[in-house]
Structure 1
Amino acid sequence: MKHLKLILSMALVALTTQLFAQTNKETTIKIIDEKDYTFVANSAIPMSNMDISQILSRMPGSQGGGVINLTGSQYDFRVTKDSVVAYLPYYGRSFSAPMNPNEGGIKFTSKDFSYKESKNKKGAYTIQINTKDVKRENFRLTLSVTENGYASLVASGYNKQPITFNGYLSESKKKDQ
């Protein structure tokens, strides 16, 4: 019965992720080439260990199997040519915690970062971003993007265990001046 619940919840996550895809093949190629896009997180998958799994199973939004539903939240990761801005939650083991609880999660703005992009034979992108100027902790972010805009983001830092986010890419909203 437990396996059936897990399978059904994973199928539900896969179906809802498909409903929220915002880009087509041409748009995905365009926004990645322009380096102007937003990754919208629909679910978080922390690195699994016994302690964290017990805590996560009691959290609202938990779907079992360590997947946390973030659909409808405002968590995202924005990339432009001159900056990277992250506003993501963090679930997992952190080896140092901020004194201010509002500074938790993966929240930063970086203007000094390395950006490496590659494309495989099937058209999927892998983007590697390493921040260099984040005050508390620099991050290594690996974004894997399909042609249709579905994406997976792995965030790892020196003081945190890696965490994976699933979601989609969308065009960045232009601010009116």
Structure 2
Amino acid sequence: MKHLSILTLIVAIAFFSCKSASSKITDEQIEALEVLVENRNFTIESTWAHPQTTLATQQVFNSGLLPAGSSSGAINLIGNSNFLTISGDSITSYLPYFGERQMHVGYGGNNGAIQFNGIVENYTVTEGKRDSYTISCTAKRKTERFKVTIKLFPNLKSYITLTSASRNSISYSGEVKSSD
């Protein structure tokens, strides 16, 4: 019986000491994110692209062409230039695209990255749970219009989803910072 109580005590100590390390969000982090969103002056640099997993993207993954640590549903972007910037009423981006297009690209087409540089349309901000923000807007380039959804969190992590009529949707995860 004594061994059972000692074993129970050891298991209880191990259970409570192995509690996951949850990072506490500080008031300063919440305020910094609030200022970024209110000023509409931030840049997001993504570290991962999350394309829709299709037969074609799975075949690319199987070919070994993706960076180390990547899979068909999560492609490592570290070391690859990419950004999405909102500055006042302007939006600019260069995001590598991995996925399928539903429309033919004209002769002399560009490299297929998601690039736009123009005025933000239909810009809305919604405050979410745990002091996060969801920003929705529309951006366009010559022949393509994108629905952009950005989730920003107090730890300055970001999650972008881009939807277009001519491409499969894709998401990006990364970090947000001030454009200053």
User: TM-score with structure 1 length normalisation?
Assistant: 0.78
* Whole-angstrom distance in 2 between the partners of 1:152 and 1:144: 5
| Paired position in structure 1 for 2:112 | 104
Alignment deviations for residues 107-153 of structure 1 (CA, whole Å, 9 cap, x no partner) = 1112151201000242111110112x531101001001111110100
Is there any run of 5+ residues in structure 2 with no aligned partner, and where?
Answer: 1-27
What is the match of residue 33 of structure 1?
A: 38
Q: CA deviation at 1:95?
A: 1.5
C-alpha RMSD of matched pairs (Å): 2.0
| Paired amino acid for 1:75 | N
Q: CA deviation at 1:64?
A: 2.1
Please give the alpha-carbon distance, in whole angstroms, between the structure 1 residues aligned to 2:30 and 2:161: 22
For 2:95 and 2:158, locate their aligned partners in 1 and report how far apart those are by CA, in whole Å.
15
Aligned twin of 1:82: 89
Give the aligned partner of residue 129 of structure 1: 137
Moved more, 112-121 or 34-43: 112-121
Deviation of residue 103 (structure 1)?
4.3
1:44-59 map, 5 Å = 44-57=49-62, 58-59=64-65
1:152 maps onto 2:159 in alignment:
yes
- TM-score (structure 2 length as normaliser): 0.77
Deviations 1:47-66 (A, max 9, x none): 11122111134223151252
Secondary structure at 1:161's aligned position in 2? coil
Partners in 1 of 2:29 and 2:107 — Cα distance? Answer: 43
Q: Please name the residue that 1:43 is paired with.
A: 48
Q: Distance in 1 between matches of 2:113 and 2:67?
A: 17
Contact map agreement 1:56 1:66 (CA 8 A) in 2: no
Distance 1:41 1:101 in 2: 24
Gaps of 5+ in 1: 1-22
Number of matched residues? 151
Three-state SS of the structure 1 residue aligned to 2:138 is strand
Higher alpha-carbon Rg: 2
AA in 2 matched with 1:165: Y
Q: Decide whether aligned partners of structure 1 residues 122 and 136 sit closer, same or farther in structure 2, where only a CA change above 3 A counts.
A: same
Query: Partner residue of 2:13?
Result: none
Secondary structure class of the residue paired with 1:139? strand
Correspondent of 1:117 among 107, 119, 125: 125
